[in-house]
Homo-oligomer: A and B are copies of this chain.
Amino acid sequence: MKFDNSWPIYMQIIDEFKKSIIRTELKPGDKIPSQREYAQKVRVNPNTVQRAYREMENLGMVETLRGQGTFVVAGEDKRQEMAMEMANTIMQHFILQMRSLGYQDKAMLAMLTQHLELEEDEQVDRV
């Protein structure tokens, strides 16, 4: 795992787990790696991992059982809430970036429509 130095590593770790849960690669009851294990895997200090795990517990994503490990608890409702939240963030970021390039709302929508159609065409071409 390679992290940006532009935003906190513990948040990037949380984001990784969020995505895994949203994509249902991690389901309720699944055990995630122990803090030490994960820290070694991604080459990060165990304290940083612990902070991420602790915040994930506060966010209701996982549950930590002392001496046993950390387990996913986010059910379907929570999963959708998390997906919605991440999508909103991505969307906002996208809109701001486009506006900073001078794009108007209409132009943005038109361009997205076009891109999605283009990609379909590309897929058709490939097939």
A interface residues with partner B (beta carbon < 8 Å): 2-6, 19, 22-23, 58, 83, 86-88, 90-92, 94-95, 97-98, 100-103, 105, 108-109, 111-113, 115-116, 119-120
The number of times this chain is found in the oligomer is 4
CA distance A7 to B112 in the complex (A): 26
Contacting residues, chain B, for A83 (C-beta < 8 A)? 101-102
Contacting residues, chain B, for A2 (C-beta < 8 A)? 6
Contact B116 A108 (CB under 8 A): yes
CB contact under 8 A between A87 and B112, given known A4-B5, A5-B4: no
Closest Cβ neighbor of A114 among chain B residues: B91
CA distance A97 to B87 in the complex (A): 8
